[in-house]
Amino acid sequence: MEHAAFTAGIPKVELHLHLEGALEPDLERELARRNGVDPARGTAVEVLVTRADFHDLAAACFRRLAAQDVRHAEVSFDAQVHLARGVAFEDVVLGLHDAAAQARRDLGLSVGLVLSLVRDLPLESAEAALEAATGFREEIMGVGLGSGARDDAPAAFAPLLARARAAGFALSAHGDPARGDAPGHLRRLLEDVGVDRLDHGTDVAGDPRLLALVLERGTGLTCSPLSNAAATGDSRAPVIADLLRRGVKVAVGSGRPARSGGYATENVVALTREADLTFDEIIRLQRNAIEISWAGEQVREEFLAELDAFEVLVAPDL
Ligand SMILES: [Zn+2]
């Protein structure tokens, strides 16, 4: 069996996907028409205005994920950029939540929503978004730190992340590769904030103390080779594979798939091609992903049972 066919068919978990970065050009054009927005002006997110628009964005993304045999997804949204345009927080969250409920019912895809705090907007806007999110604890599973870059982000956002933790949200944070004082950022996120997961976070590979810490805690890393390649020209596939082989809980996600050339399958295929992953390692990525996910017990058990069945089914062909 080819690795690409194996990767296409394996049941998957997606833990690093920014919904605004999954706005594909055809839907962007349709929403621009619907809302009378000139797509040539401004940024793509300006076409998202109503609760129905956010629903349609998420629903289109969830159909793509289901078509790639993703069974559980934790997807981020950037509330602050929408609040700044006068969109109501509840229209964003409830539109996305409507689509998540439909995906569960119609596609067999379990979805958790993650509020992503935007690093390069004023801290006050992140505070307002987090405050609004506390009114939607049923709909929002976790809080992340991402989108945009700011060199003092871990220190500046630590109190807000602590507040999110106290409100009962699970926590992830971006540790962008090779940016500024990357090891210093990761140390703050791991030691001071105590995040559950790092998005990217591959720079732990260059710091023995951080590597020991993520191994000891079982901290998950959601890596995206295609996003890395789109952002910096370097997929960092060898270091992602090396961390996986050292026993770090590495999973592969998509980041901003409409901008970086692929969703879950394409990212794993790229990593496999560049770093010669074995079939066992491709399976390990999905086991890690469900393990570091925030899914409930039933979703975990169903996923692991399906993964086991997949292994048995394809074993004779390997
Ligand atoms: Zn990201």
**Which tens digit of pLDDT belongs to each residue from 196-239?**
999 999 999 999 999 999 999 999 999 999 999 999 999 999 99
Mean pLDDT over residues 274-292, rounded?
A: 97
pLDDT of residue 176: 80
| C-alpha of residue 74 to centroid of ligand 1, in Å | 12
Distance 258 CA to ligand 1 centre (A): 13
Average pLDDT over residues 3-30: 96
Domain extent listing, the chain: 3-317
For residue 200, report the distance from its CA to the centre of ligand 1, in Å. 7
User: Maximum distance among all alpha carbons in the chain?
Assistant: 57
Whether 164 contacts 196, CB under 8 Å: no
Average per-residue pLDDT for the chain: 94
131 CA from centroid of ligand 1 (Å): 22
User: Which residues does residue 275 pair with via DSSP β-bridges, in sequence order?
Assistant: none
**Residue 180: predicted pLDDT:** 67
Residue 283 Cα, ligand 1 centroid: separation in angstroms?
23
Instruction: Give the Å distance between the CA of 221 and the centre of ligand 1.
Output: 11
Kindly report, residue by residue over 107-164, the tens digit of the pLDDT. Answer: 999 999 999 999 888 899 999 999 999 999 999 999 999 866 677 778 889 999 999 9
What is the distance in A from the centroid of ligand 1 to the CA of 146? 6
Average pLDDT of span 91-112: 98
CATH number for the domain whose boundaries are 3-317: 3.20.20.140
Say how many Å lie between the CA of residue 256 and the centre of ligand 1: 7
Over the stretch 228-266, which tens digit does the pLDDT of each residue have? 999 999 999 999 999 999 999 999 999 999 999 999 999
For the CA atoms of 237, 213, 154, 202, the dihedral, rounded to the nearest 10 degrees, stands at: 0
* Cα 17 to averaged position of ligand 1 atoms, centre (Å): 7
Is 314 or 302 the better-scoring residue by pLDDT? 302
CA of 91 to the centre of ligand 1 (A): 23
Give the per-residue pLDDT at 315. Answer: 81
Q: What is the pLDDT of residue 44?
A: 85
Which of 206, 164, 210, 160 lies closest to 187 in space, CA to CA?
210
Please tell me the distance between residue 312's alpha carbon and the centre of ligand 1 in angstroms.
Answer: 34
**290 CA from centroid of ligand 1 (Å):** 18
Side chain identity at residue 277, one-letter code: L
Q: What does the alpha-carbon distance between residue 51 and residue 96 come to, in Å, rounded to a whole number? A: 8
